[in-house]
Amino acid sequence: MATTDLIRPEQAKTLYGLFQQRVQRTPEHIAYRSYNNSDKSWLDTSWNEAAMQVARWQAALIKEKLQPGDRVALNLRNCKEWVFFDQAAMGLGLVIVPLYPDDRPDNVAYILQDADVKLVLLQNVKQWQKLQPAITDEHHLQRILINNPADTAVESLALYVNDWLSDDSAILHDCLSQPEQLASIIYTSGTTGKPKGVMLSHLNMLSVAWGALQYFDIYASDVFLSFLPLSHTLERTAGYYLPIMAGATVAYSRGIPQLGDDMLQVKPTILIAVPRVFERIYSRLHNQLAKKSFIAKSLFNATITVGWARFLYQQKQQSWRPTLLLWPTLEKLVATKVQQKLGGNIRLIVTGGAALSEQVSKLFIGLGQQILQGYGLTETSPVISVNEPNSNFPASVGRPLHGITVSIGDNDELLVKGPGNMMGYWNNHKATAQTIDSQGWLHTGDQARITEQGHIYITGRIKDILVLSNGEKVPPADIEAAILSDDTFEQAIVVGEGESYLAAVLVLNSDLWFSLAKHHQLDPFVHDNLNNKQLHNEILQRLKQRLHDFPSYAKIRRVILTLEPWTVDNDLLTATLKVKRNKVIDYLQADIDLMFR
Q: Describe the strand order of the beta sheet including 405-408 as a list of residue ranges.
A: 405-408, 413-417, 442-450, 456-461
Strand bridging mode 473-474 / 383-386:
unpaired
Encode burial over 302-326: b for 16+ CB neighbours within 10 A, e otherwise. bbbebbbbbbeeebeeeeeeeeeeb
Residue 191: its pLDDT value, please? Answer: 38
Asked if CATH classification 3.40.50.300 holds for the domain at 475-596, the reply, yes or no, is no
Domain ranges in the chain?
16-34+43-177, 475-596
Question: Cα(first)–Cα(last) distance of the chain, in Å?
Answer: 46
Integer CA distances (angstroms), 592 to 86, 504, 505, 559, 597, in order = 43, 9, 8, 9, 9
521 CB burial (10 A radius; 0-12, 13-18, 19+):
exposed
Residue 400: its pLDDT value, please? Answer: 98
Q: How many CB atoms lie within 10 A of CB 331?
A: 18
Rg of the chain in Å (alpha carbons)? 25
CATH code reported for the domain at 16-34+43-177: 3.40.50.980
Encode burial over 450-485: b for 16+ CB neighbours within 10 A, e otherwise. beeeebbebeeebeebbbbbbbbbbbbbbbbebbbe
Dihedral in degrees, nearest 10, Cα atoms 259, 276, 285, 350: 80
* pLDDT one digit per residue (tens) for the chain, 597 residues: 466 789 999 999 999 999 999 999 999 999 999 999 989 999 999 999 999 999 999 999 999 999 999 999 999 999 999 999 999 999 999 999 999 887 888 889 999 999 999 999 999 999 999 999 999 999 999 999 999 999 998 887 999 999 999 888 889 999 999 999 999 999 986 434 578 999 999 999 999 999 999 999 999 999 999 999 999 999 999 999 999 999 999 999 999 889 999 999 999 999 999 887 888 788 788 878 988 999 999 999 999 999 999 999 999 999 999 999 999 999 999 999 999 999 999 999 999 988 888 889 999 999 999 999 999 999 999 999 999 999 999 999 999 999 999 999 998 999 999 999 999 999 999 999 999 999 999 999 999 999 999 999 998 777 677 888 888 878 787 788 788 878 789 899 999 988 989 999 999 988 889 989 999 999 999 999 999 999 999 999 999 988 887 887 888 999 999 999 998 778 787 555 678 888 899 999 999 999 988
Encode burial over 71-88: b for 16+ CB neighbours within 10 A, e otherwise. bbbbbbbbbbbbbbbbbb
Cα distance between residue 372 and residue 356, in whole Å: 10
CA atoms within 13 A on the CB side of 129: 7
CA atoms within 13 A on the CB side of 380: 29
Cα distance between residue 410 and residue 572, in whole Å: 25
* 80 close to 44: Cβ distance less than 8 angstroms: no
The residue ranges of DSSP E strands in 377-417, in sequence order, are: 383-386, 399-400, 405-408, 413-417
Whether the upstream peptide bond of residue 382 has omega within 30° of 0, thus cis, is: yes
**With left for phi above 0 and alpha for psi between -120 and 50, is residue 377 left, alpha or beta?**
beta
DSSP three-state, residue 217 = coil
Residue 36: its pLDDT value, please? Answer: 93
Residue 1: its pLDDT value, please? Answer: 42
Q: How many CB atoms lie within 10 A of CB 539?
A: 21
Note the helical H segments in 97-240: 105-114, 125-131, 161-164, 202-213, 233-236
Residue 580: its pLDDT value, please? Answer: 83
Residue 435: its pLDDT value, please? Answer: 96
CA 290 vs. chain centroid, Å, equals: 31
Cα distance between residue 112 and residue 121, in whole Å: 12
